[in-house]
Structure 1
Amino acid sequence: MSDASSTWFDGLERNFVDVEKQPGIDTKHFIEASRSLVTLFDLLGSTTFGTVISDMNGNIKKINDRYTAAPDRSQTLQSLVHEEHKELGKKANATEGLMWLLRGFEFTSKALRHNVSNPDEELATSFQESYNGTLKQYHNFVVKGIFSVALKATPYRKDFYEKLGSEKARVDEQSVAWLTALEEITTIMQKEYTDNKNFGF
């Protein structure tokens, strides 16, 4: 952050608020905003959430690799997944990577939404609640154990929000706008997968 009044949101490569959504979700914008989201876990504890960071970065790379390889067929996320699946079927790495990235985003957004809506609740509680309702169903015993340890090590609410910025009113306003945009994009793309079960993942 460049000065005392700056917030974490001010320094993002791209805010989800600024991701173009018509006629589809702009792939390049989405990749940039996704890379920015991953840095949020540095504030939560890069060691604690190392598995999450590594997983999200790996899935973002799969999407970016496809975008780079076939930009004319990947301008929007919708065109990317349909064109890649048509071409490669179940070997469509970016389509599968995006699916897992969206699951991670749902986990993140539900935890933060719960925390914003419950100002007296600690982050560990919000993230555990979200994990139970999102990622847990996809994880085996070992991964569940890793997440259990990570979630317990989540920083205190007060410390985390101070890292987002010193001006509470501004941080609160930006948090809600960013979170709402993230939720909207996640919902749009999850519906794309629900409506196209032939993706087969």
Structure 2
Amino acid sequence: MTTDVRRRGRGALDPGGAPEGIGGQELAELYAAHRLSLTRLAILLVDDWASAEDVVQDAFAALTTRRGGLRDRSAAVAYLRTSVVNGARSALRRRRTARAYTPPHEPDHDAPDAVAVLAEEHREVLAALGTLAPRQREVIVLRYWSDLSEAEIAAALGISRGTVKSTASRAMTALETALTSQETR
């Protein structure tokens, strides 16, 4: 196998899987000789020193892990240059995606007393819901919590649309009565 590797020429893989043409010492020499010019190239493409350095580091890292090695040592510089250009394109694409991202709306944080009042109102509504008949509670929850249409509620509960309408009407009247009686306590 060793003879076969030597016959294939420079850049062929040795039996251990590392590129024959690029050794640790040679990689260090390539880095010392071409890092600055590749970084300048990347800066012109990404317009940011830190991103440019990252792109160049990624290119050298890719060279060391490249499967199949390089056929010619002189191809290493061309490979690195191409890798830097492609890495810069990827960095710009990621940057463009990050800038286009719109975070979800976060509600304004109210004062603690407003939160307490709102929490109390929620507890009152939940208590009033507990006083409803099971079907009335189902219709109200599906209508106002799950935001389903009358037809969707009818299909979900296996009842007619007319039954959904009348049940919702009776449930709202019962909720109003329950909430009014809670206020007078």
For the aligned pair, the TM-score class normalised by the smaller chain equals under 0.3
Bigger Rg, which one = 2
- Give the TM-score of the pair, scaled to structure 2: 0.23
- Give the TM-score of the pair, scaled to structure 1: 0.22
